[in-house]
Amino acid sequence: MQLYKSRSFGDFFSDTFTFLKENGKHFYKNYFIINGIFIILLMVMIFFFFRFYNNIIFSDFTTGSGDPFTNYIDENIGTVLIFGSLFFILGLLLGVINYAYTPIYFLLFEKHGGKNFTKNDLINELKTQLGKIFIFLLAGFLIAIPTFIATLIICGVLAVTIIGIPLLLIVFAWLAQFYFIAFIAYLQTDKGVFDCFSYSFNLSFKKFWSANGCVALFYIIIQTVQTIITIIPYSFLIGSFVLGAENGSNTNEQTLTAITLMTITYMVAFFINLIMVTVLQMNESIIYFSLKEETENINTKSVIDEIGSY
């Protein structure tokens, strides 16, 4: 698949799924090899946390006894701090690797002219770029202060009108695209991190409505899928539990089953969200290469050079 290519809104959308169809197996095979251990550990911790939390909620619901969740924290503050610290560290590691994986995959894809690279190439590239990744995180935090203030002002102006409310999603899509373009440009080039943010700001306004509209559409798809996965099963379980409580038919076994099903629902939602975020990043990567082609004519120059060599 050609990355450096001028695209319209429809191309941004369709080429994302074309890339997924042609390279998805290779992409996710290496994704789970690199991220698998962090995903498994985090999902185990999520399982025990939500199982405990839901158990507390149901216990409070059935017995009406004060605030058992706060009481447990007060009585087991050491355990809570250790668990919370491990959860935070694992979540941070997974978040960083997950955010960096897709752009690094696309950069290797562009470098090798396809998926002719291995997990070792990905791991080595991640190690090589580790310093840049953390520099970007620090710079991104500094940039976030004025950026988020400006974004909040714009959102406040848009929110006062009915017409402006749907445009809020475009603003958030632009913000995500702005950071992603700066990140992948920083990994790809020798530019300074703040130069990449400046480059990203200019590039993110190229084909503004087509590019950011496509990112917004993917956000809508992700939220819709998340809603189906979580809200519907969750509402069904709560409804059945409430009806059982009214009829006096709930048992400890039924409560335990409900808690387990709700916990599994959270875990499935978490896993599906990880996958869908990578699809969103595929879309953002394709947009990046397309906008870069619009600005720098990389593919056009390459074709001219090939003709000249003949």
pLDDT band at 295 (very low <50, low <70, confident <90, very high): confident
Give the highest mean pLDDT range of 87-91, 146-150, 190-194, 234-238.
Answer: 190-194
Would the pLDDT of 162 be above 80?
no
Could you tell me if 34 and 97 are in contact, meaning their C-beta atoms sit under 8 angstroms apart? yes
Distance between CA atoms of 219 and 210, rounded to whole angstroms? 14
* CA–CA dist 110, 19 (Å, integer): 13
- Write the pLDDT tens digit of every residue in 187-244: 998 899 999 999 999 998 888 889 999 999 998 888 888 888 777 666 766 666 666 5
Instruction: Please spell the DSSP secondary structure of 192-212, one letter per residue.
Output: -HHHHHHHHHHHTTTTHHHHH
Average pLDDT for residues 85-106, to the nearest whole number?
88
- What DSSP character marks residue 66? S
Q: What is the pLDDT of residues 248-266, one digit of tens each?
A: 555 556 666 666 777 777 7
| Whether pTM exceeds 0.85 | no
| Average confidence (pLDDT) over 160-176 | 80
